[in-house]
Chain A
Amino acid sequence: MDVAFGVTMMVMGMGVTLITLYLLSLVIGLLVKLFPYKAEEEKQE
């Protein structure tokens, strides 16, 4: 069994996935702040 391969995949894979999704959540937070929901949109809907 290639332990080094397994550990690398686990640490890097899980780590990068977690960091990317965290970054995405920050980006979403930024977008929501930049373009807040306005009451007019509700009227249009």
Chain B
Amino acid sequence: MDVFLASLSALGQGFANLTWQATVMLLLGCLLLYLAVARGIEPLLLIPIGFGVILGNLPLAGLSAQDEHGVIKLLYDAGILTELFPVLLFIGLGAMIDFGPMLANPMVLIFGAAGQFGIFLTLFLALALGFAKQEAISIAVIGACDGPTAIYVTSKFARDLLPAVSIAAYSYMSLVPILQPPIMRFLTTKKERATVMPAADKKVSKKVKILFPVVAGILTILIAPMGAPLMGMLMLGNFLKESGVVDRLTKVSESTLANTVTLFLGLCIGASMLGANFLQWRTILILLLGLVAISLDTVAGVLLGKFMYVVTKGKINPLLGAAGTSAFPMSARVVQKVGQKANPRNFLLFHAIGANTGGQIGSVMAAAVMLAIMAGMGIGPLP
């Protein structure tokens, strides 16, 4: 009988060790799964994260990112601590991007820089709220609207913040269609929004498309070598695609590689969201600062757009500035939608896609520059 009772009690150990924080996290994991499946919000990422949250918070399961000898800890150490996952993801991103619209109208690259302004203003705010320098950098980079870049920088400087930063970066990317339009409407007049831009029928030669990733990779890495893993892999992926001679590698990069890494990345991040660490005021503060960062990116982009509108005497639609963030292609679609609402004859999508790809380069460049400046100040990454 004793043996029977002992074995029975061992079976119930999970329930006995279930804390209120773990219970809240299990509910949060279920909520993420619901949002992904029922609402279709970023399912590729929210399903692995949501399931990771559930697995990581089940007591005694040994599946959190902190459980020694656990399979997820193994993935976490190999892919997140080494920064391998975000870097590999960039090969896939590069293979998916078509820089054509940006190459046809390189001026839109400037919007890609303005779209990063929120990063640097949020850095100020985070410092003012008492976050350490490395933490402030990691929080500010949420404003890049670029999940892999945010994860890369945070895993270098503030691993404790990784769950909150990644959740913020990815959720705000999907919230761009809700966040940006009110800011765009508030900062522009109907006349400005209705500005019709000439049809973008300029074509770019294949040679330019092939040379761009090589030249851009060399130039940007020479300026900010610390960002080489991100920029280098992004340009490698794009070169695979544009070279046109390695279809198999391109297909693997944009599908199998990107999907596999996204699965493991999401799972590891979810499994690192442990109740005791995640359910803190700091997490809410980080989520709020991320929101501020992305809003400020939009504000800076639209204001630059207004400046260009004045300088070019009304030839550039200021809404284009909002596409300078890295949320691809959501920002570009938002610009098209808001522009067409003001003037049904308005077709801004091609121009906006150009600004949006410029934003992707801009976000990686901004992160690379920050890393380089930090290194120059003697603030190195975590061991």
Q: What is the interface of chain A, defined by CB distance below 8 A to chain B?
A: 1-2, 5-6, 8-10, 12-14, 16-18, 20-29, 31-32, 35-38, 41-42
Contact = CB atoms under 8 A, between A and B. Distances in A.
Contact of A16 (B202, B215, B224): B224
B127 A2 contact: yes
Contacts, number: 112
Given A13-B373, A20-B223, A24-B106, A6 B124 contact: yes
Nearest to A7: B124
A24 B109 contact: yes
Contact of B120 (A2, A9, A28, A36): A9
Contacts of A6: 123-124, 127
A21 B124 contact: no
Q: Residue among B120, B223, B366, B370 with the most chain A CB within 10 A?
A: B120
A23 B124 CA distance: 27
Given A1-B127, A12-B369, A24 B216 contact: yes
A32 to B, nearest CB: 6
Contact of A37 (B107, B130, B204, B223): B204
A30 B329 CA distance: 27
B106 A35 contact: no
Given A35-B211, A41-B206, A10 B366 contact: no
A29 B215 CA distance: 12
Interface of B: 102-103, 106-107, 109-110, 112-114, 116-117, 119-121, 123-124, 127-128, 130, 133, 137, 202-208, 211-212, 215-216, 219-220, 223-224, 358, 361-362, 365-366, 369-370, 373, 377
Given A2-B127, A35-B208, A14 B103 contact: no
**Ordered nearest first, which 6 A-B pairs have the shortest CB separation?**
A25-B106, A28-B106, A35-B207, A10-B120, A18-B113, A25-B109
Given A21-B113, A24-B216, A37 B205 contact: yes
A36 B220 CA distance: 24
A25 B113 CA distance: 11
A23 B369 contact: no
25 contacts: A1-B127, A5-B377, A9-B120, A13-B120, A13-B370, A13-B373, A17-B362, A18-B113, A21-B361, A24-B220, A24-B361, A25-B106, A26-B106, A27-B219, A28-B102, A28-B103, A29-B106, A31-B211, A35-B211, A36-B205, A37-B203, A37-B205, A41-B205, A41-B206, A42-B203
